[in-house]
Amino acid sequence: MSYLNKRLSLVAVACAFASTHAFAEDSSLTNPNISAVLDGFYQTGDRGLGGREEGFGLGETELAISANIDDMFYGKVTAILESHDGETEIELEEAFIQTMGLPAGLGIRAGRFLSDVGYLNNQHLHTDSFVDRPGAYRAFMGNHYFDDGVRLTYVAPTDLYWTMGVEVFKGDKMRAADMYEEHEEEGHDEEEHEEHGPREYDTVGVYSAFTKFGGDIGNSSSWQVGLSYLYNANGKVMVVEGEEEEGHADEEHDHEGHTHSASYTGENTYIADFVYKWAPNGNYKYQHLTVSGEYFRVTDTFSFEEGDHGHEEEDHDHEESHGDDYFEGWYLSGVYQFSPHWSAGVRYGEVDTYELHGDHLDPQKLKETELSLAWHHSHFSTVRLQYTNQKGTNFDGFEDDNIVSLQYVMTLGAHGAHQF
Amino acid sequence: MRINSKKLIVMGALCSAFLTSAANAQLNVFACEPEYAALAQEIAPEAKIYSATSAMQDPHLVQARPSLIAKMRQADLVVCAGADLEIGWLPMLQMKASNNKVRSTDNGLFYAAEHIDTLDKLEHVDRSMGDVHAKGNPHLHFDPRRMLQVANALSEKMAALDPEGAAGYQAKLTDFTDRWQQAIPKWEEQAAGLKGKKVIAYHSSFRYLFNWLGIEQVADLEPKPGIPPSSSHLAKLVNRSQEGDVMAILVTSYQDERGANWLGERTDLPVLILPMSVGGNSDSTDLFSLYDSVITMLTEVQ
């Protein structure tokens, strides 16, 4: 992380020098858009699946620089700082170039960027209407999935909005938790692992494809639906029988949540999403309503391989009981801004996963009900009060918790143009 | 950027020449606001014109919604007010639409504010000042002489993008200019009585209209630009309203009239909801009738 520190201090220095009127002028190489997001909170309990923790804390503090590089390329760098357990984590969330001048509705993005699968994933956390991403995102996308790779998109020349895209990523943070490594860390018999050999991960691990459609209904309503598929070559957890696995998978998951790695992975992920927005006469200044929802299904999650001492019979047993297990998650959210200064939201979501215990899987279930009330002094400042009820089955640390969060999210610097 | 403009115009010309043979010389125009859709309509009545917003929608706050991406994807020309009015949504549309024809003002992008001298340019802009624009006030379509400059520039832009239609655009521009120049003295005569009158208005939406007609905006319903009227701010305005020199309280078609009505009730001042653009009321069907309607409404207050 130290090399990142250096880069980040450059970002910070750039921000310090940026004059406040920079945002009002054209972004070019000599005058980039520079922005920062401040996010702080107080919470009365811990959220599951890598959500925010109890007490005072900071969310993602974001520093971003973006500009048109020339008439063909646009570039953006976003650094995020996060603190967990007293340690500050620094990461580059975005560092990409995007073509702006390709013909025929084509576009290429390369570098590190947010995947465009699903609805929320390509949106920055500070635009959310709730304190944390839905459980499904925390479980399957590591909160929001960004990675090193390349994307090709196409927008069709039709009145009905229709776009499609394919992405290829390194996929490191979507790798399944490696059971061998875990044992090595804990000082178990290392010879045995060498016998099996460490897992060979694919260096290009994630492939995705997505399509989105959208349009208007009259003057007041707009909609978009999307379908996404994500193939994760390293997503399946390889379980070798006869080794002790108890409880470790869970610990690993909790930790991984903070490092933006997916907690629950599988080979195939399918996502369906929709968003519907309404404003009187399409005028978003005073009132508007946003209803959105997403469904995730993650399949081919575990592979039960025989150890050297295993029996064929046992193997068949497990194939039968676990072969078609899949993870699932969804949420439905409604947010109504009833005046320029106030908005209220309600969200309900579930996550169904399995936890590995020895050679068998225990089902886990998370149910989250959230109510939020936000005060917006301007477009750039929000103070949010949120109540969350989380019900967990077979999760470590929570069963039925009522949590209250108080959060501020404020942006300074460039006007961010927001996505639909 | 400017160095490349010739090359790009040639390229644009080649592109449109290519498209012309295929698609019958019809420019596809995406207008950010209805006043520019109306202006494009005057100069290129044959064009396919789409307005991204209506007079009922605040152009500062527009969603970069799918339908707009789809329309921009097909556009040959994007016409906007500029001066950062659309900064919260236009860049996102441009990125999502992947249409290289409308990326830059060197080719199919047109900002009206770049072709006139805007009022209220600011040396220094700070967020504590509210939502202000360093490049000056972008609501320039209520200044008839500035609009004529914009019409000239727009006609040139259309001719550059579609050389085959150049003669047609020039003829329509001449026709529009004649009618517009005949209308200006009529409007000025009709509005002569408004000179020196004082009003309270919402935002600086009518800055150019007031500047043209000599109306003075003595107070703003917004405590700061972009910040909606608060009760404490409105309470302060009561005193100002009762000094006896204020003619009316003005809001536009996309602004919330509740604050104005509250103030109007307490001070017995008339509240007018003026159309902000074409389509803002039933009388405003083009730029001429928009001006007619606004001036008639103002003069009828007296």
For A143-166, how does the pLDDT look when each residue is reduced to its tens digit (9 = 90+)?
889 999 999 999 999 999 999 999
**Is residue A291 one of the residues assigned to a domain?**
yes
Q: Among A269, A374, A248, which Cα is nearest to A326's? A: A269
- The band of B226, judged by pLDDT with boundaries at 50, 70 and 90, is confident
Distance CA B276, CA A73 (A): 37
Task: Please check whether residue A126 lies inside any domain of the structure.
Answer: yes
Number of compact structural domains in chain A:
1
B266 in contact with A, Cβ within 8 Å: no
Q: Are A389 and B36 in contact (CB under 8 A)?
A: no
Across the interface, whether the CB atoms of A284 and B61 are under 8 A apart is answered yes
Q: In the prediction, which pLDDT does A415 show?
A: 63
Contacts of residue A285 in chain B, CB cutoff 8 Å?
A: 58, 60-61, 228, 254-256
Residues 6+ apart with CB under 8 A from A38: A61, A408, A409, A410, A411, A412
Is B74–A157 a contact, with Cβ atoms under 8 angstroms apart? Answer: yes
Chain A: closest CA distance from residue B182 (Å): 35
pLDDT for A194-223, tens place per residue? 445 567 788 888 999 999 999 999 989 999
What pLDDT band is residue A364 in, cutting at 50, 70 and 90? Answer: confident
- Amino acid A384 reads R
pLDDT recorded at residue A23: 36
pLDDT the model gives residue A4: 45
Compute the mean pLDDT over every residue in chain B, rounded to the nearest whole number: 86
Please write the tens of the pLDDT for every residue from A208-261: 999 999 999 998 999 999 999 999 988 888 777 655 444 444 444 444 444 556
pLDDT of residue A197: 53
Which chain A residue has its CA at the smallest distance from B127's CA? A20
Show the tokens assigned to A144.
């929001």
Residue A187: the pLDDT is 43
Between CA B286 and CA A388 the distance in angstroms is 52
Tell me if the pTM is above 0.95: no
Instruction: Average the pLDDT over B162-172 and give the result.
Output: 91
B80-86 mean pLDDT? 90
For residue B92, give the nearest of A98, A102, A418 by CB distance.
Answer: A418
A291-350: per-residue pLDDT in tens? 999 999 998 888 776 554 444 444 444 444 455 688 999 999 999 999 888 999 999 999
Decide which of A189 and B76 is more confident.
Answer: B76
Band (A399; pLDDT cuts 50, 70, 90): confident
d(CA A56, CA A159): 48
A22 touches chain B (CB under 8 A): no
| Closest CA–CA distance from residue A261 to any residue of chain B (Å) | 28
- Nearest by CB to residue B57, choosing from A159, A283, A419, is A283
Question: What CATH class is the domain B192-301?
Answer: alpha beta
User: What residue type is B139 in one-letter code?
Assistant: H
Rounded distance between C-alpha atoms, residue A260 and residue A174, angstroms: 9
Q: Residue A171: inside a domain, yes or no? A: yes
- Work out whether the CA dihedral A230, A330, A96, B80 comes out positive or negative: positive
By Cβ distance, the residue of A100, A159, A219 closest to B103 is: A100
Asked if residue B109 lies in contact with residue B102, where contact means CB atoms within 8 angstroms, the answer is yes
Question: A146 pairs with which residues across the strands?
Answer: A114
Indicate which of B96, B98, B99, B120 best probes the interface with A, i.e. most A CBs within 10 Å of its own CB.
B98
Q: Please answer whether residues B52 and B5 qualify as being in contact, where contact means their C-beta atoms are separated by less than 8 angstroms.
A: no
Contact (CB<8Å) A214/B66: yes
CA distance A74 to chain B (A): 9
Q: Could you give the strand order of the β-sheet that contains B216-220, starting from the edge strand earlier in sequence?
A: B216-220, B198-201, B246-252, B271-274
Distance linking the first and last C-alpha atoms of chain A:
34
> Does any domain span residue A3?
no
Q: Do A283 and B95 touch (CB under 8 A)?
A: no
Same fold, B2-185 and B192-301: yes
* Distance in angstroms (rounded) separating the CA atoms of residues A247 and A301: 17
B171-195 pLDDT, tens digit per residue, is: 999 999 999 999 999 999 998 888 8
* Torsion from C-alpha of A109, A111, A112, A117, nearest 10 degrees: 30
Going by their DSSP bridges, the two strands A55-58 and A360-378 should be labelled as unpaired
Q: How far is it, in rounded angstroms, from Cα B151 to Cα B166?
A: 14
- pLDDT at res. B7: 53
Helix axes B34-43, B144-161, angle to 10 degrees: 60
Q: Which residues of B touch A215 (CB under 8 A)?
A: 66-67, 70
In terms of DSSP H, where are the helices of chain B? 5-23, 34-43, 66-73, 90-97, 144-161, 166-190, 207-213, 231-241, 258-267, 287-301
Domain covering B2-185 in this structure, CATH number: 3.40.50.1980
Give the pLDDT of residue B109. Answer: 93
Which residues contact residue B291 at a Cβ distance below 8 angstroms, ignoring those fewer than 6 apart?
B142, B144, B183, B187
What CATH number does residue A227 fall under? 2.40.160
Determine the Cα–Cα distance for residues B188 and A361; give it in Å rounded to an integer: 82
Q: Is residue A117 part of a domain?
A: yes
- Partner B, chain A 25-44, Cβ-Cβ below 8 Å: 25
Domain ranges within chain B, ordered by starting residue: 2-185, 192-301
CA angle centred on A140, ends A135 and A143, rounded to 5°: 60
What's the domain range around A390? 101-407
**Residues A242, A247, A251, A253, CA torsion sign:** positive
The verdict on B268 touching A (C-beta cutoff 8 Å) is: no
- Cα distance between residue A25 and residue A77, in whole Å: 19
Q: How far is A380 from chain B (nearest CA, A)?
A: 9
